[in-house]
Amino acid sequence: MISIISNMSEIGAGTRGASLGFDALRTASYHIKPDFFKKHPVKHLETENHLLWEPIDTPTAIRIEGIARQYERASQLVTHEIHTGKFPIIITGDHSNGGANIAGIKNAFPDKRLGVVWIDAHADLHSPYTSPSGNVHGMPLATALHIDNEDLQINQPKDKAVVAWKKMKGNNPRLAPTDLVFLGVRDIEDQEAALMRTHNIPNINVEELTKKGVDWAVATTLDNLKNCDIIFVSFDVDSMDPSISRGTGTPVPGGLSREQANGLITGLLASPKVKGFEITEINPLLDDRGNKMGEVAFYLLDQAVTTLQKRL
């Protein structure tokens, strides 16, 4: 059984509007498949978005105390849904929530080796010690890997930020660098690139994927994670090219086509090892083509659900 969760927390992003991502999907569904959300009821998670109107007092990790509370809330729900026999599809506001989803999956399968597929334009490997912006949506994988990357430190976080950061990381790594695969990442900052080199984290770029094909990319990804017992797939809509739509906070040229994104998602979700899936960073306030990103994302969501219904 599939469980759709809406976690519209956007306090980890630098632009406003990602909290409207689910509304964009639902609006798109009216014209494409109006009965979709009747057939698939949604659980809406409480957020800390009221903090957007509060002063920022942790500039190297903006609103991190609220994000830490959201991590706990979100991870607990993901774990609960898995324990009740459901497959969680999590629609999130910004990608800071991705770390919570990984925590929820790992908590549900504490003795299993977890692999993560990160389909994104960005590596999201920063920490409060390295982030140039302080936006926590660039840090979720560092929480899962339990790394600070202090060798390349450029910031001195406040004590309260460090306390919240440690809560988000937990006591132990949830993910090993050997069990992470990037797809489509192309906007990588120096601190992140250093970690990718040090740990030899694979990144299948769009040029290579286009040349060798989506099926090859899916097979290669699953082969890289062959020693993992379970897999989580996170899909950031900015992995797609801005020619599709600029309805996301940090668009980067040279991205995936809709068809490539769909092939990756459905190919990966066909694997019985995959235990959770996330779609994130839909921002209709930034969409220059009406609700085009919402429409594309809903198409991908519908295809994902169809794939899972055949499998589960």
Read off φ and ψ for residue 47, nearest 5 degrees: -125, 175
Three-state DSSP class for residue 2: strand
Which residue type occupies 293? M
Q: How far is CA 281 from the centre of its chain?
A: 8
Q: What is the pLDDT of residue 207?
A: 97
Q: Which domain holds residue 23?
A: 2-311
Q: What is the pLDDT of residue 110?
A: 98
Closest to 149 in 3D by CA, of 113, 185, 193, 107:
193
Q: What is the pLDDT of residue 184?
A: 98
What number of other Cβ atoms are within 10 A of residue 214's Cβ?
Answer: 20
Q: What is the pLDDT of residue 219?
A: 98
Domain of 272, CATH number, reads 3.40.800.10
Q: How far is CA 45 from the centre of its chain?
A: 16
DSSP codes of every residue in 108-126 = HSTTSPEEEEEESSB----
Q: What is the pLDDT of residue 8?
A: 98
Instruction: Give every CB contact of residue 278 below 8 A, 6+ residues apart in sequence.
Output: 89, 90, 91, 92, 97, 98, 101, 232, 233, 234, 235
Is residue 127 very low, low, confident or very high in pLDDT (cuts 50, 70, 90)? Answer: very high
Count the domains in the chain: 1
- The encoded tokens of residue 252 equal 């980067």
Burial class (CB in 10 A: 0-12, 13-18, 19+), 84: exposed
Q: How far is CA 80 from the centre of its chain?
A: 19
Instruction: Give every CB contact of residue 53 below 8 A, 6+ residues apart in sequence.
Output: none
pLDDT tens-place string over residues 19-73 = 999 999 999 999 899 999 999 999 999 999 999 999 999 999 999 999 999 999 9
Which residue type occupies 157? P
Q: What is the pLDDT of residue 136?
A: 98
Give me the mean pLDDT over the 121-132 stretch.
98
Characterize the bridge pairing of strands 274-280 and 230-236. Answer: parallel
- Please state, in angstroms and rounded to a whole number, the distance separating the CA atoms of residues 155 and 295: 39
- Please state, in angstroms and rounded to a whole number, the distance separating the CA atoms of residues 312 and 308: 6
Q: What is the pLDDT of residue 63?
A: 98
Task: Map 147-204 to HEC letters.
Answer: CCCHHHCCCCCCHHHHHHHHHHHCCCCCCCHHHEEEECCCECCHHHHHHHHHHCCCEE
Give me the mean pLDDT over the 204-224 stretch.
98
Is residue 295 very low, low, confident or very high in pLDDT (cuts 50, 70, 90)? Answer: very high
